[in-house]
């Protein structure tokens, strides 16, 4: 037997964290890493946030799980807060981002397959280099062949248009089109914000043709960009939205949000999840909302994002051969490199104890916990500068 007990789907690195302290991770051999990856935009309150820990501890002692057969005071309260703070009228809780996107896809299809709808409208237009998760529907929603290989056939009903290209999206529309599924800021694709014109154009196309506009805010949502949700930067609203990652602060939680109109097909018995929205997850989500869903916190993220960004812009000027530009919003930033970003990310991790995330388009993702402050930013630039100075792209 040579297969590892953990199914070998991840090329795991030598960092083996056993403890987290605020913005740092501590390895099993005691090495401290500065964590500007945040579990890929998950640990937005860092690793030892008293409010989040207390809420989970208290709920675990009180009631951990009950079936969705019963009433849910905890779920109703968190759903009401999300409804109050967003475009949405209704919320379905999941345990992950992919499940939230799955629920969004089902909601869009059910909108058209409702008795008042046009049941031929079954296709979603999605965008190149998107990432929506690893289930069959969510890999089918992405054009990335490396995620498809070995898993054919894909789920039918997705057309891929070029990201940020409204004319291309328009050219793929037909009487089968059900809607659009897009990340307002592509995460895995390389921290690429969609343009205003593109987002407004999609909203207009959806309005004119009675289509569903779905935002995948699994990575860019939950205060990461300085707004509770990134769509607020654009001044338009989706019909349906998937959220996850940061929303549980590290506890597995996601949600599909929708307007009343968009959710018309999602009646009794149409969807479900054993764990989705259980009291423990609701306690974690409520603690995260308590911390981030207020103007002061969001303004701080915006202000820190601006400071980090301008320091990054100054910094890359010192290394014109390595870095091309800085992009993103708030504390969801990407350094587009002129050389491959993955080996540089490995160099920062292994030689300078700085954790970031590599992404598509030769981008290095900088995703600090939203509670990081000047001390952590100073440490980040110390490590990044040392890393850039000691880096030889030729290996
Ligand atoms: C991470 C991610 C997902 C998938 O979330 P999981 O929790 O891994 O299923 C979906 N969409 C986007 C934009 C993501 O970044």
Per-residue pLDDT reduced to its tens digit, 207-228? 999 999 999 999 999 999 999 9
Q: Does residue 227 have its Cβ closer than 6 Å to ligand 1?
A: no
Average pLDDT over every residue of 152-165: 98
HSE on the CB side for 123, CA within 13 Å? Answer: 15
Pocket test for ligand 1, best of 97, 181, 241 (most atoms within 8 A of CB): 97
183 lines ligand 1 (CB under 6 A): yes
97 CA from centroid of ligand 1 (Å): 4
Q: Is the CB of 186 under 6 A from ligand 1?
A: no
Residue-level pLDDT at 394? 87
Residue range of the domain that includes 34: 17-49+295-390
Residue 313 within a domain:
yes
Q: Do 208 and 106 sit in the same domain of this protein?
A: yes
Do residues 138 and 32 both lie within one domain? no
For the residues 189-212, what does the mean pLDDT come to?
98
Q: What percentage of residues in the chain have a pLDDT greater than 90?
A: 99
User: Quick check: CB of 86 below 6 Å from ligand 1?
Assistant: no
302-340 per-position pLDDT tens digit = 999 999 999 999 999 999 999 999 999 999 999 999 999
- Domain membership flag for residue 10: no
Q: Which two tokens stand for residue 151?
A: 């898993």
Q: Are both 280 and 306 inside the same structural domain?
A: no
- The answer, yes or no, to whether any atom of ligand 1 lies below 6 A from the CB of 353, is no
Q: Is 187 in the pocket of ligand 1 (CB under 6 A)?
A: yes
Cβ contacts of 297 within 8 Å, gap of 6 or more = 223, 291, 370
Our mutation pick for probing the ligand 1 site, out of 39, 103, 131, counting the most ligand atoms within 8 A of Cβ, is 131
Residue 133 CA to ligand 1 center (angstroms) comes to 5
Phi, psi of 162 (to 5 degrees): -70, 135
Which of 245, 251, 256 should be mutated for ligand 1, with most atoms under 8 A from CB? Answer: 245
Mean pLDDT of 146-155: 98
Residues 6+ away with beta carbon under 8 Å from 54: 287
Among 258, 292, 326, give the residue marking a domain's end.
292
Q: Are 59 and 280 in contact (CB under 8 A)?
A: yes
Q: Report pTM.
A: 0.98
146 domain residue, yes or no? yes
Cβ proximity of 202 and 183 under 8 Å: no
* Any atom of ligand 1 within 6 Å of the Cβ of 94: no
Looking at residue 153, which CATH number applies to its domain? 3.40.640.10
- 329 CA to middle of ligand 1, Å? 18
Closest CA to 247 of 228, 278, 222: 222
pLDDT at 232: 98
pLDDT band, residue 1 (cuts 50/70/90): confident
Any binding-site annotation on 18?
A: no
pLDDT tens digit sequence for 180-192:
999 999 999 999 9
273 in a labelled binding site: yes
Asked which of 245, 275, 292 is the last residue of a domain, the reply is 292
Q: Residue 395: pLDDT above 90?
A: no
3: β partners: none
Q: Are residues 338 and 283 in the same domain?
A: no
Kindly give the distance from the C-alpha atom of residue 100 to the centroid of ligand 1, in angstroms, as a whole number: 9
CATH number of the CATH domain containing 309: 3.90.1150.10
Given phi > 0 = left and psi -120 to 50 = alpha, else beta, which region is 73?
alpha
For the chain, how are helix, strand and coil distributed in percent, rounded to 5?
40, 20, 40
Q: What are 345-379's pLDDT values in tens digits?
A: 999 999 999 999 999 999 999 999 999 999 999 99
- Residue 247's pLDDT is 98
pLDDT digits (tens, 9 = 90+) for 69-127: 999 999 999 999 999 999 999 999 999 999 999 999 999 999 999 999 999 999 999 99
Q: Are residues 227 and 78 in the same domain?
A: yes
218 and 312 within one domain: no
Q: Are residues 159 and 119 in the same domain?
A: yes
Number of domains observed in the structure of the chain: 2
Q: Whose CA is nearest to atom 11 of ligand 1?
A: 132
3-state secondary structure of 359: strand
For ligand 1, whether the C-beta of 219 sits within 6 Å is yes
* Domain termination site, one of 292, 314, 337: 292
CB neighbours (10 Å) of residue 363? 28
181 Cβ below 6 A of ligand 1: no
Distance 219 CA to ligand 1 centre (A): 7
CB 216 near ligand 1, within 6 Å:
yes
CA 2 to centroid of ligand 1, rounded, Å: 30
Q: Is 309 annotated as a binding residue?
A: no
Is 327 within a domain? Answer: yes
Residue nearest to ligand 1 atom 5, measured at CA: 97
Distance CA 75, CA 347 (A): 43
* 7: in domain: no
Q: What's the CA-to-centroid distance between 115 and ligand 1, angstroms?
A: 32
Residue 96 belongs to a domain = yes
Residues 285 and 319 in one domain: no
Q: Are residues 245 and 149 in the same domain?
A: yes
Residue 395 domain flag: no
Q: How far is the CA of 128 from the centre of ligand 1 (A)?
A: 16
Is residue 337 within 8 Å of residue 7, measured between CB atoms?
no
279 and 222 inside one domain? yes
């Amino acid at each position: 037997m040579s297969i590892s007990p953990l199914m070998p789907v991840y090329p795991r690195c030598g960092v083996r964290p056993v403890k987290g302290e605020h913005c740092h991770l501590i390895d099993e051999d005691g090495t401290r890493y500065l964590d500007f990856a945040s579990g890929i935009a998950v640990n937005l309150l860092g690793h030892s946030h008293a409010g989040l820990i207390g809420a989970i501890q208290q709920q675990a002692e009180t009631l951990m799980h009950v079936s969705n057969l019963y009433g849910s005071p905890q779920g109703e309260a968190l759903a009401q807060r999300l409804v109050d703070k967003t475009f949405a009228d209704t919320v379905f809780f999941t345990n992950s981002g992919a499940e939230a996107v799955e629920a969004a896809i089902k909601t869009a299809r059910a909108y058209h397959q409702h008795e008042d709808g046009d049941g031929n409208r079954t296709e979603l237009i999605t965008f190149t280099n998107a990432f929506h998760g690893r289930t069959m529907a969510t890999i089918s929603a992405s054009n990335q062949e490396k995620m498809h290989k070995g898993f054919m056939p894909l789920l039918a009903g997705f057309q891929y248009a070029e990201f940020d290209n409204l004319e291309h999206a328009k050219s793929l529309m037909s009487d089968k089109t059900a809607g659009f599924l897009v990340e307002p800021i592509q995460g895995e694709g390389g921290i690429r914000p969609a343009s205003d014109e593109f987002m407004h154009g999609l909203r207009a196309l959806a309005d004119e043709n009675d289509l569903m506009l779905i935002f995948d805010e699994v990575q860019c949502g939950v205060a990461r960009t300085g707004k509770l949700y990134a769509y607020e930067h654009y001044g338009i609203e989706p019909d349906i939205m998937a959220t996850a990652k940061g929303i549980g602060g590290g506890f597995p939680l996601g949600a599909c949000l929708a307007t009343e109109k968009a959710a018309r097909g999602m009646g009794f018995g149409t969807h479900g999840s054993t764990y989705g929205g259980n009291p423990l997850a609701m306690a974690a989500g409520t603690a995260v909302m308590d911390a981030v869903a207020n103007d002061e916190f969001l303004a701080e993220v915006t202000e820190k994002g601006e400071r980090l960004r301008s320091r990054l812009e100054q910094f890359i000027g010192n290394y014109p051969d390595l870095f091309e530009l800085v992009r993103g919003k708030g504390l969801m930033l990407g350094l587009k490199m002129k050389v491959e970003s993955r080996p540089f990310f490995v160099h920062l991790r292994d030689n300078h104890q700085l954790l970031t995330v590599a992404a598509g388009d030769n981008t290095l993702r900088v995703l600090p916990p939203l509670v990081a402050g000047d001390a952590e930013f100073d440490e980040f630039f110390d490590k990044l500068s040392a890393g850039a100075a000691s880096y030889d792209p030729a290996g």
